Structure 1
Amino acid sequence: MSTVLLVIGVVIGVAYIYHHIVVKGERCTSQARLHGKTVIVTGSNTGIGKTTAIDLAQRGARVILACRCKNRGEAALEEIKRESGSNQVVFMQLDLGNLKSVRSFTETFLKSEPRLDILINNAGICLQGQTEDGFGLMFGVNHLGHFLLTNLLLGRLKECGASRIINVSSMAHNFGKVDFDCLNTNKALGLGTSFIRVLQIYCDSKLCNVLFNHELAKRLQGTKVTCYALHPGQ
């Protein structure tokens, strides 16, 4: 009985530590105001993205909700306006799994918005499938779509002075790898639909985020644009 209780205690302890360090993370204590700043948050109709958008709007930023689903995006728009008390929130449709949509979004944004101070590449999925362009779904949405989006917006970010690019990755990148043979043959990071295979490919896509961020940071040295990769909550 004592052994069972010990095991249960250890499991509860590990779960508590995991929740508070990995899941819950630290609470932001910054009091920074963002009046006059414009921010794009991809995947901001739910989860981390929506919470981020609410906080940014509360700080006075003009927040662009870049989301795939029009109905969910517009519903989130009303909720974020209500929660933040700000009318400086705009929905613009963006499907990261469709490179034509990425180009259309950036064209619309650049024509209608004079500033871009922060780009938060937050959207991500953990599903197998194919994008509109024939790429593996996680490779296309988690990496390629954001890669193209970022590069198309770099000029505006540079024009606006001290700007930031934030790539939401994951600690899961530590378990990722890039199989270039699979990429060349199948336009995907990996194949298979089992839970383990899907999880591995997700880890691979998060590694792509970190590698992209690392190379981009090197190329942006000497400019006023800085970029960061993060695990949510850390």
Structure 2
Amino acid sequence: MKIPTNIILFSGIGTAFGAGVLLKDYYGGERYKEKHDILAKTVIITGANTGIGKETAKELATRGGRLILACRNLEKCEKTKDEIIQESFNKSIVCKKLDLASCESIRNFAKTVVEEERHIDILINNAGVMACPKEFTEDGFEWQLGVNYLGPFLLTNLLLDKLKQSPSARIINLVSPLYKRSKINFEDLNSVQNYHPKEAYGVSKLALMLFSQELARRLEVELIVYEMFTGFACRWPDHRDSEQCWDSVLNITVNCAIPGISKTEIGRHLPMAQAKFSGGLLSPVMWLAMKTPLQAAQTSVYLAVDPSLEKVTGKLFFNSRETSIASPALDKEVAKRMWLISEKWTKLSS
């Protein structure tokens, strides 16, 4: 008996779709299922009202953390806060205004946090923009460089003292694999002469990678010097490996997370998102190829709560596994120069 062609066709489509779903689950990464809680820990998540940031906040709220949702749009933030409270039964969630395109807003946010909080345990620099049209922030920074890099640079530095008040603090910066194909052009760092949306995005994420590496090195040196003067006993062989000594030497870690390609608002400026007809035709393919925001949030959750990472710093993670760092992000001289320029541009050193 001959099977009708349409049945074969639909059967093939169904099989392909089912295989796609399985592949999506596999390549999207497993959900972080460990039951580690973060009770009594204060967490700041930038851009927490939507996408990956929102899912990260939900996951950490269920683990008992006190969350500060740092968002540009307070109305959306409040709605997200109510949603998270209803789902997690965790009422220790607050919204605070933060616009990473404004140094004034960043300083106001940091000032409030410093005055109100005893310590910060986890800082997740999640917020970002991607491939947007050429535009400059109120401080004169190219938009992507300002929001994706200079904003987190200033915010993190302003909160460092509060992070140092934590027994074990973690800084998590979200980056993109596009950093690998990017290069810092000090002659036109602010993209005044030439601007390409995708290239500028890659540069902003490379800058964040370089910052993470340099900050990790600076913190290690600072704390080793501290240990030399105040924790000299820890240098004796019988005490060097004790947990107490390690806590005094290394209490802030800095790591980067690649969330992967996911369907969030960050891609709204991409040509595919703006082409309604072709975008509609390709939406099933895009759905299979992209992670969900929940899947993309898992590496951030892992870096925030897993106890095995308490002494791990200066690393890069994808799908909750450490991955190698490409050479553009390992150039110490470029990292130091970027730091000095960033201090000057954000008036951190003034």
Shorter-chain TM-score: which interval?
0.7 to 0.9
Deviation for aligned residue 1:219 = 0.8
Q: Is 1:146 matched with 2:152?
A: yes
- C-alpha distance in structure 1 between counterparts of 2:71 and 2:88, whole Å: 19
Larger mean CA deviation between 218-227 and 48-57 belongs to 218-227
- C-alpha distance in structure 1 between counterparts of 2:26 and 2:50, whole Å: 22
Q: Is 1:74 matched with 2:89?
A: no
Q: Tell whether the 8 Å contact from 1:189 to 1:204 is kept in structure 2 after alignment.
A: no
Deviation for aligned residue 1:19 = 4.4
| Aligned twin of 1:130 | 136
Structure 1 segments unaligned to the other structure (5+ residues)? 1-7
| Aligned twin of 1:200 | 199
Q: Tell whether the 8 Å contact from 1:189 to 1:205 is kept in structure 2 after alignment.
A: no
- C-alpha distance in structure 2 between counterparts of 1:227 and 1:110, whole Å: 20
SS of the equivalent of 2:34 reads coil
Deviation for aligned residue 1:165 = 0.2
Q: Is 1:178 matched with 2:184?
A: yes
- C-alpha distance in structure 1 between counterparts of 2:181 and 2:96, whole Å: 34
Q: Is 1:50 matched with 2:63?
A: no
Q: Tell whether the 8 Å contact from 1:173 to 1:204 is kept in structure 2 after alignment.
A: yes
SS of the equivalent of 2:68 reads strand
**TM-score, with structure 1 as normaliser:** 0.86
| Aligned twin of 2:31 | 27
Q: Which amino acid in the other structure matches residue 149 of structure 2?
A: H
Q: Is 1:226 matched with 2:253?
A: yes
Q: CA RMSD in A?
A: 2.4
- C-alpha distance in structure 1 between counterparts of 2:25 and 2:138, whole Å: 38
**TM-score, with structure 2 as normaliser:** 0.58
- C-alpha distance in structure 1 between counterparts of 2:252 and 2:36, whole Å: 19
Residues 20 and 210 (structure 1), Cα distance of their counterparts in 2 relative to 1, 3 Å cut: farther
Deviation by residue 1:97-132 (Cα, 9 ceiling, x = unmatched):
000000000001111121200000000101231111
SS of the equivalent of 2:82 reads helix
Deviation for aligned residue 1:26 = 3.1
Q: Tell whether the 8 Å contact from 2:169 to 2:253 is kept in structure 1 after alignment.
A: yes
Residues 158 and 198 (structure 1), Cα distance of their counterparts in 2 relative to 1, 3 Å cut: same
Deviation for aligned residue 1:20 = 4.9
Q: Which amino acid in the other structure matches residue 228 of structure 1?
A: N
Q: Which amino acid in the other structure matches residue 124 of structure 2?
A: I
Q: Is 1:159 matched with 2:158?
A: no
Q: Is 1:212 matched with 2:246?
A: no
Structure 2 segments unaligned to the other structure (5+ residues)? 1-12, 224-249, 260-295, 297-318, 320-350
Q: Tell whether the 8 Å contact from 2:118 to 2:165 is kept in structure 1 after alignment.
A: no
Q: Is 1:103 matched with 2:107?
A: yes
Deviation for aligned residue 1:171 = 1.6
Q: Which amino acid in the other structure matches residue 69 of structure 1?
A: N
Q: Tell whether the 8 Å contact from 2:110 to 2:155 is kept in structure 1 after alignment.
A: yes
Q: Tell whether the 8 Å contact from 1:179 to 1:190 is kept in structure 2 after alignment.
A: no
Deviation by residue 1:14-68 (Cα, 9 ceiling, x = unmatched):
x77984566x223212211111000000000000000000111110000000001
- C-alpha distance in structure 2 between counterparts of 1:220 and 1:134, whole Å: 29
Larger mean CA deviation between 24-33 and 158-167 belongs to 24-33
Question: Could you list the runs of 4 or more consecutive aligned residues of structure 1 that deviate by over 3 angstroms after TM superposition?
Answer: 15-22, 188-192
Deviation by residue 1:109-166 (Cα, 9 ceiling, x = unmatched):
1111212000000001012311110100000000000000000000111111210000
- C-alpha distance in structure 2 between counterparts of 1:72 and 1:80, whole Å: 12
- C-alpha distance in structure 2 between counterparts of 1:201 and 1:21, whole Å: 31
Q: Which amino acid in the other structure matches residue 227 of structure 1?
A: V
The share of aligned pairs that are identical, in percent, is: 42
Q: How many residues are paired up? A: 218
SS of the equivalent of 1:86 reads coil
Q: Tell whether the 8 Å contact from 1:38 to 1:61 is kept in structure 2 after alignment.
A: yes
Structure number with greater Rg is 2
SS of the equivalent of 1:220 reads helix
SS of the equivalent of 1:92 reads strand
